[in-house]
Amino acid sequence: MNADLLIVLAVLAVTLALFVSDRLRLDVVALMALLALALTGVVSTSEAIAGFSEPVVLMIAGLFVVGAGLFNTGVADAMGRWVERIAGQSPARLVAVIMLVTAFLSAFLSSTGTVAVMLPVVIAIARSRGISPSRLLIPLAFASLLGGMQTLIGTPPNLIASNTLAQAGLEPFGFFEFTPVGIVMLAIGIVFMVLLSPRLVPERDTPHGDHVSPGPDWLELFSDYALDQQLAHVWLPEGAPLVGRSVADTRLRDDHGVTILAIDSLTDTGRQVRPAEPGSVIREGDALYVSGRHEHIAAVAERFGLEVLEWAPELPAPLRLSEALVPPRSGYVGRSLRELRLRSSRGVTVLGERPAGDAAGPPDLDRPLASGDALLLTGRLNAIAALGAGVRDLVLLGGGEVSERRRSHAPIAIAVMVAMMVVMTFGLVANVIAVLGAATLLVLTRCLTMDQAYRSINWESVILIAAIIPMATALDNTGGMAMATDLLMGLTGELGPIALMAALFVFTSVLSQIVSNTATTVLVAPIALQAALGMGVNPHAMLMTVAIAASTAFATPVASPVNTLVLNPGGYRFADFARAGIPLQLIILVATLFVVPILFPL
């Protein structure tokens, strides 16, 4: 074993350890690995930055924009609402319909975006049917992963597997070449969840309870976040110290834990309630709607000479309540509410929070947010909708709407998407040109703006792929790839290609539970290719196996962003995913060993 290989293996070990620890962002870790390989001379400068010009990297960036065009024009949302109309009352039918529609969307859009669109719809269906959302949300998450198996663009591992073939001078996978295998796996997943989910998926006591009415009103949401008695309507008598001061100047939220939500003023036409902006001035005779702990409100009332008119009044009309989730890789992760200053910068106030796995209550302004946290927001409807636009930083569980102007562009977005699929299917131009062309057309036709296009790109995923590619190059240059291939063939060679497929599936699936499935595929796909060529079997079969295995991140709530998204709304525990996910992974493993050799003869 040469010195360069030892360096590469050491960098790889540290990289994987940092990936698993989740102490740093994945893209930062990948960039650190790239720099380590370049500075030690294991790869040249041109090899270190080669990933940033890879067609697969540009395609993934472009596909985020294409997906945003469909989300922005309400296409995905319309599909979600359609589910509500056809779902019926049978729990089994509910699960099947939700999984089918979710998988269809996920075949063309990002799985995270699909779950973000479907999540409020599924929760609303659960409420209206009087069942626990926990019975439906694990099937929703799993369906989004199974949907990624359906097409070339369904998930980054599919693109990476196809690109690995192209780099070796072999025929890449076609757009719908994944579909026959994907349909089988989806059918297995639906049957599995319909028949066994009543036993494997628990009926948890979720934040909204098991039997609630459709569309919870403000009081239900306040109760969910333990804020029942934390809203009050108070009056400012003549000479009250707060008169003449702006909302920000009162410092009631920072110093006393009491938030002014709205100002009830006397006007020429009667009483008028307006949202309390930071610069809103409090006048004599005004009444305030405030939120905070009962004892804090009482203390503020006594200190500033306020009279409490009513405890737990109805929320004033100009304000709306909405729940939101902090998704994985959100820009809010690791930042406190005080640091984000959502009220002054976005016109939205956080009234309550439910940290993942913890009890709900008033917000801790200084606690760093984590992925999976749920927040209760209030503000104007358009401000809440703008905060959740693009589902990058927050996923709204209610309160976001698609404007009619954007909705009118939906046929254009669909036409562009279909045209892109046709071009890619028949190979009229290179796939990367087809994707970039579709993204450009969506901007030119005003399905989304250029700023929205840039914001829609998950740059962490793009940088991760581009920066981790040199790791595969370094392994190849130093003989590490050949060593891994020899080891894999030594373990499975005498048992034949089916054993090789099984080993690749198990290794990829297990690694994708703890490391990004994208990074896993970048590292495993070249090994699978070399092993297939060394054994003299069909490389397409081996790379299809790797791609399918990379999408089976079912076993833990952190294995995939979609699992994390449903963790809090479903009231799940860590083991709930393993109970349902591991059996499904094993069934898909067996199905892969039967189906892939039929479609891609060994």
pLDDT of residue 225: 76
Give a yes or no: residue 334 inside a domain: no
Greater confidence (461 vs 267) lies with: 461
Find the largest Cα–Cα distance for the chain. Answer: 92
Q: Report yes or no on 280 lying in a domain.
A: yes
Alpha carbon distance 395, 80 (integer Å): 15
Position 442 confidence tier, pLDDT thresholds 50, 70, 90: very high
Q: What is the pLDDT of residue 240?
A: 86
Considering the domain boundaries, does residue 307 fall inside one? Answer: yes
- What value does the mean pLDDT take over residues 522-537? 92
Token pair of 272, please? 């008028």
pLDDT in tens, 15-49: 989 988 878 888 899 999 999 999 999 999 999 99
Instruction: Identify the band that residue 550 occupies on the pLDDT scale cut at 50, 70 and 90.
Output: very high
Average pLDDT over residues 509-516: 86
Q: Render pLDDT for 308-356 as a digit per residue (tens, 0 to 9).
A: 888 878 777 667 778 888 887 788 888 998 888 887 778 788 888 888 7
Q: 123-132 pLDDT, tens per residue?
A: 878 877 778 8
Give the pLDDT confidence score for residue 210 in this predicted structure.
37
pLDDT value, residue 324: 85
pLDDT the model gives residue 341: 85
Is the pLDDT at 212 greater than 50? The verdict is no
Q: In the prediction, which pLDDT does 214 show?
A: 34
For the cut 90, the answer to whether the pLDDT of residue 467 exceeds it is yes
**Dist CA 523 CA 470 (whole Å):** 10
What pLDDT, on a 0 to 100 scale, did the predictor assign at position 540?
Answer: 96
Region 80-85 average pLDDT: 76
- DSSP class of 554: -
For residue 425, what are the contacts with CB-CB under 8 A and spacing of at least 6? Answer: 174, 175, 176
Query: What are the phi and psi torsion angles at 2 (to 5°)?
Result: -80, 170
Mean pLDDT, to the nearest integer, of 573-601?
93
- Alpha carbon distance, N-terminus to C-terminus of the chain: 33
Percent of the chain at pLDDT > 90 equals 40
pTM of the full structure: 0.82
Q: Average pLDDT, stretch 193-222?
A: 62
Q: Could you give phi then psi for residue 321, rounded to 5 degrees? A: -110, 145
Q: What is the mean pLDDT of the chain?
A: 86
Tally of domains in the chain = 1
pLDDT above 80: residue 215 = no
- Predicted confidence at residue 209, as pLDDT, reads 41
Element (H, E) at 539: helix 539-550
Q: Please compute the mean of the pLDDT values over residues 535-562 and round it to a whole number.
A: 92
We report the CATH number of the domain holding residue 303 as: 3.30.70.1450
Predicted confidence (pLDDT) per residue in 160-195, tens digit:
999 999 999 999 999 999 999 999 999 999 999 999
* Residue tagged 């791609």 (tokens): 547
Band the pLDDT of 219: cuts 50, 70, 90: low
Inform me whether the pLDDT recorded for 400 exceeds 70.
no
Instruction: Check whether 371 has a pLDDT greater than 90.
Output: no
Which residue would you say has higher pLDDT here, 407 or 442?
442
Measured in degrees and rounded to the nearest 5, phi and psi for residue 354 equal: -130, 95
At 205, the pLDDT band (50, 70, 90 cuts) reads low
76, 115 contact by CB (below 8 A): no
Q: Please give the residue range of the domain that contains residue 303.
A: 229-311
Domain membership flag for residue 330: no
Q: How far apart are CA 526 and CA 524, in angstroms?
A: 6
pLDDT for 12: 92
Closest by CA position to 149, among listed 469, 553, 564, 454: 553
pLDDT tens digit sequence for 106-162: 999 888 888 888 888 888 788 777 788 888 999 999 999 999 999 999 999 999 999
Cα-based angle 45, 51, 53 (whole degrees, multiple of 5): 100
269 within domain boundaries: yes
Average pLDDT over residues 75-103: 84
CA dihedral 481, 484, 486, 490 (to 10 degrees): -160
With cut-offs at 50, 70 and 90, classify the pLDDT of residue 208: very low
Question: What does the block give as tokens for 3?
Answer: 């010195």
Give the CA distances from residue 583 to residues 145, 369, 578, in Å, rounded to whole numbers and listed in that order. Answer: 15, 33, 8
Please give the average per-residue pLDDT across 545-557, as a whole number. Answer: 93
Beta bridge partners of 354: 374
Query: Within the chain, how many helices (H) and strands (E) appear?
Result: 28, 9
Tell me: the pLDDT tens digits for 48-73? 999 999 999 999 999 999 988 888 88
Q: In this structure, is residue 260 part of a structural domain? A: yes
Residue 5 predicted with pLDDT over 80 = yes
Residue 372 has a pLDDT of 84
Q: What residue ranges in 357-440 does DSSP mark as E strands? A: 374-379, 395-396
- Classify residue 480: in a domain, yes or no: no
Whether residue 399 lies inside any domain: the answer is no
Residue 555 DSSP class: S
